[in-house]
Amino acid sequence: MINLERVGEHEFVASNGRGASVRIGRKGQEGSFSPVELLVAAAAGCAMVTSETLILRRTGGDQLTAEADAVQSESGNEVISIPVTLSYDLSAVDDPEALETVVRRAVEQFCTVTRTLKQSATSPLQLPTPLQTASDPL
């Protein structure tokens, strides 16, 4: 469960039960991620978490980075693609194509975020309902 709390005008903090938190705000707001930036970070982070062991075991290194960006529709109101680029050293890899195949397969099969994006997950919005008062008929 993720909890969000308003901490100022257009400023929110998301936290999880393990003590981690991240600031969320409008696009361009200093010191925070926009919601779209968090979506992009989730896609890149999921690819990295999913492939980390495979890559580092085969490369013998400990360097792994990712870049990602949101490609938005002409209206800017929806993300149509999130290209993710993983970077790591291939100098110690005998068969780079085999590693690419394994990494792609792992991300496609096990990365919850990118799999969810492909499925176009729904995001039902629940709003508070008016509370009944003592004068309301039952």
Per-residue pLDDT of 85-129, as tens digits, reads 999 999 999 999 999 999 999 999 999 999 999 998 888 988 898
Per-residue pLDDT of 54-79, as tens digits, reads 999 999 999 999 999 999 999 989 99
- The CA distance from 29 to 33, in Å, is 8
User: Virtual CA dihedral for 67, 85, 26, 5, nearest 10 degrees?
Assistant: -90
Q: Say how many residues make up the chain.
A: 138
Q: How confident is the model at residue 13, as a pLDDT?
A: 98
60: left (phi over 0), alpha (psi -120 to 50) or beta: left
- The CA distance from 53 to 64, in Å, is 10
The pLDDT-based confidence of 133 (bands split at 50, 70, 90) is low
Q: How confident is the model at residue 122, as a pLDDT?
A: 86
